[in-house]
Amino acid sequence: MSGILITSLDFELYWGMQDVVQLNKYSDNILGGRKAIPQLLDIFEKYNIHATWATVGFLFADGEKDAISYLPPKDRWPTYRSEDSSTYRCLGCTGDSEEVSPCFYAPSLISQIAGVQGQEIGSHTFSHYYCREPGQTTEQFESDMLAAQEIAEAHNYHVTSVVLPRNQCELEYTKVLNKLGFTAYRDEENDWIHEKVKFRPLMRALRLMDVYFPLTGQGGYIPKNENGIWNLTGSRMYKPYFKPLAFLEKQKVRRIKKQMLHAAKNGLVFHLWWHPHNIGVRTEYHLKQLDEIFSYYTELKKEYGMESLNMREVVEKFRVE
């Protein structure tokens, strides 16, 4: 088997950051990320990169009234122990059109993405649902994913691939996804840092260094079908510019290229991912790095036959094999 490059993006706008940072402090990233998307699509077309855009359900809506019409029954809303975790608290002040509220709704961008060859519209849950947040239940998760399907279908998109926020997943949740007809999800990195390090400050420090140096190896793998759904594990998040370690930026790109080379040579999958808002500032700088990475993919395609496939296409390939 030839190596495979999977590219996926967590398309969430402010819904994915509402519990992390105030909108007025992060709007430049969100709006900059929106502006970066057409430029990303140009790069994808240039190098024939097929990508999955895991989209929060709210983004399909034409505005708040439309979004509210797809909410699950109130007794199935997520009962997170921390109220700040729920995106539902944003409703009531998100505006009633994409033009008015570009940090919350994006039907025009979704349409633009879907119109480019090789781009798959996937799901990032309906409400940016956290599967490991204390207080929520699998029943609430199922209702959330049903709502994600319904709002996507109503806007003429059939979603079969899922990226769960923060890559949080458990066995019972994959069973729900399979039951609802989803065929693939992106699991968190499968490495010793995630498995063995429980002290979060140390885990974060090690994960940061792994961006630049091979603490966890090359990240390539053969996909597995688990409970009827394909686990397309993330291999590497493309980390945006980090000023304290700016002197390691070239090393960051070299690290990604070496991982891609390893996958190409050994017939493995390498799964690269990030959020559009990660490149919403210093956009030209990030796009130049991504252009370099995807230009390198074309070299690997020529020399080793590496393929660029979105998550749905990977499932189709492995079902046949």
* Chunked mean pLDDT (size 10), the chain, 321 residues: 96 97 97 98 98 98 97 96 96 95 98 98 98 96 98 97 93 95 92 76 87 90 93 96 96 98 98 98 98 98 98 93 63
Beta strands 269-274; 4-11: pairing state: parallel
- Round to whole Å and give the CA distance between 51 and 117: 10
Phi, psi of 108 (to 5 degrees): -70, -35
- Round to whole Å and give the CA distance between 170 and 172: 6
Given this model, what pLDDT does residue 192 score?
73
Do the Cβ atoms of 164 and 129 come closer than 8 Å?
Answer: yes
Given this model, what pLDDT does residue 321 score?
63
Do the Cβ atoms of 311 and 269 come closer than 8 Å?
Answer: no
User: 230, 238, 177, 174: which is closest to 36 by C-alpha?
Assistant: 238
- Round to whole Å and give the CA distance between 146 and 297: 36
Do the Cβ atoms of 13 and 106 come closer than 8 Å?
Answer: yes
- Round to whole Å and give the CA distance between 275 and 310: 16
Q: How far is CA 283 from CA 40, 91, 211, 278, in A?
A: 10, 30, 19, 9
Q: What is the DSSP string of 163-223?
A: --GGG---HHHHHHHHHTT--EE-PPP-SHHHHH---HHHHHHHHHHHHHS-SS----B--
